[in-house]
Amino acid sequence: MAGSSRFPTHLIPDDGTRYPPGEIVRVDQSSGRIQIVADSEGNYEVMHCRPATEYADETPLLRVGLRKREAPPGFTPPDPWAPRHPSDW
């Protein structure tokens, strides 16, 4: 993740995929590298996406700015410490 931006910016290998502003995504790090995956239930919203031309590396990079999604109005996350109903076990 890169700094000096209004939104957290991720540099990922440029495989030709472009993420339009407003698209909902999730950040997957399970493979040991950062991947951005389009997911309507994701935790992030794309703010900007462009080739990272400022790096003179053999591997082209894509700079993707993400913003943490806000919960919809009226949504209250469940209390993890609240007693649960036995049928939930």
Write out pLDDT tens, residues 31-46: 888 889 999 889 999 9
What pLDDT band is residue 51 in, cutting at 50, 70 and 90? Answer: very high
| Best CA proximity match to 9, nearest among 54, 77, 57, 62 | 62
Q: Which residue has the tokens 């994701």?
A: 42
Averaged pLDDT, 67-72: 78
For 19, how many CA atoms within 13 A lie in the half-sphere containing its CB? Answer: 31
Q: What is the distance between the alpha carbons of residues 76 and 54, in angstroms, rounded to a whole number?
A: 42
Q: Is 19 exposed, middle or buried (0-12, 13-18, 19+ CB in 10 A)?
A: buried
pLDDT category at 88 given cuts 50, 70, 90 is low
